[in-house]
Amino acid sequence: MPSAGIFLPPLPRPALVRLLRDLAAVSDDVRTGAVAIGNFDGVHLGHARIVERLIARAREVGGPAVVLTFDPHPVRLLRPAEAPPPLTWTDRKAALLAELGVDWIIAYPTDEQLLNLTPAEFFERIVRRALDARALVEGPNFFFGRGRSGTIEVLRTLAAAADISLDVVEPVVVDGEFVSSSRVRKLLSEGRVDEARRMLTRPYRLRGMVTHGAGRGAKIGFPTANLAAIDTLLPGVGVYAGRAWIDGQSWPAAINVGPNPTFGEQALKLEVHAIGFAGQLYGQPLEVDFLSRLRDIHPFENAEALKAQLVRDVAEARRAADSRN
């Protein structure tokens, strides 16, 4: 993985997730530290580099390492029709940041009042008064305040006047391009989960509720959990190797995203076969990691031909889950 100079903890690493959803709940334990502000969607290698510098600055100033993020993403209020599907839900984002070593994560509830703050007002109310920050760490493309009018240079001026240090961390480059949430989102949308995984701190994960399906998988020996109410980006159509998380335990999984053309179904579905699991999942939440793409979806002559392919898919999915983080 091309992440030289970025510390990623081994898997698994228990981490204490300290997530706040209200600035009024900020105590002295959260103040007088180093702060990074941003969406941190997906928690990719670029975010990991920012966090690494954030922790170093927090140690220097003798305070906590704090990430201030937003829930929902501001663009969902400003331009909802243009809002991209998120890569992480808030609790997942907080867990990934805590795993990297962040002490506190604040998921600021985005509202019109926040979006109407000028850069100077945002800096005074949040950075100085609420958090009493002693150090700031950001990427070069950071914007804040009404209409995204606060650039990194505006922040530099405000921070200098307040005697707060500012570190601007350069992006991470993978395969000649900057790592970004939009780049990860594009790769996932195209089904290129293998490439996206190289840019994330952990494999891409989504969640949903298990609902009843047609039950055909169980009839041919491959019961599947059909997921609905998915609130993050769905990867492109295809068959994938992954992991299913059930009651905190990981199971190798073969994942189908798309229709079932063998049986004349064209509806887009997400079906998960948790390899080796025997139990009832209906009505329960399920989280799924995507590790690698196995193949395209295409119709088979009959159920027996499909079953033969599923045997191969399951064997390959098991190998992938056993060999990759």
- Has residue 219 been placed in a domain? yes
Closest CA to 233 of 285, 172, 286, 191: 191
Dist CA 68 CA 26 (whole Å) = 12
For residue 173, give the H/E element and its range.
strand 173-174
CATH at 159: 3.40.50.620
3-state helix, strand, coil split of the chain in percent (to 5) is: 35, 25, 40
At 214, which CATH number? 2.40.30.30
138 and 65 together in one domain: yes
Task: Check residue 3 and give its pLDDT.
Answer: 45
Q: Is residue 189 part of a domain?
A: no
Question: Is 123:155 a contact under the CB 8 Å cutoff?
Answer: yes
- DSSP collapsed to 3 states, 223-269: CCEEEECCCCCCCCCEEEEEEEEECCEEEEEEEEEEEEHHHCEEEEE
Q: Within this chain, do residues 135 and 274 fall inside the same structural domain, yes or no?
A: no
Query: Could you tell me if 29 and 150 lie in one domain?
Result: yes
* Same-domain status, 170 and 208: no
Same domain, 105 and 238: no
Q: How many structural domains comprise the chain?
A: 2
Q: Same domain, yes or no, for 62 and 209?
A: no
The model's confidence at residue 13, banded by pLDDT at 50, 70 and 90, is low
**pLDDT for 26-81, tens place per residue?**
999 999 999 999 999 999 999 999 999 999 999 999 999 999 999 988 887 778 87
Let me know if residue 64 belongs to a domain.
yes
Of the candidates 251, 250, 268, the one whose C-alpha atom is nearest the C-alpha of residue 191 is 268
DSSP secondary structure, 65-127, as one string = EEEEEEES-THHHH-GGGPPPPSS-HHHHHHHHHHHT-SEEEEEE--HHHHT--HHHHIIIII
Tens-digit pLDDT profile for residues 258-310: 988 766 677 789 999 999 999 889 999 999 999 999 999 988 888 889 899 99
User: What is the domain extent for residue 223?
Assistant: 203-323
- Let me know whether 91 and 138 are in one domain: yes
Query: Is 198 domain-assigned?
Result: no
How many CA atoms are closer than 13 Å to the CA of 166, on its beta-carbon side? Answer: 21
The two structure tokens encoding residue 154: 């505006």
236: its two tokens: 């492109």
Whole-model pTM: value is: 0.92
Is residue 148 included in any domain, yes or no?
yes
Tell me the angle at which helices 90-100 and 45-61 cross, rounded to the nearest 10 degrees: 60
From 157, 174, 191, the end of a domain falls on 174
Mark whether 208 and 156 lie in a shared domain: no
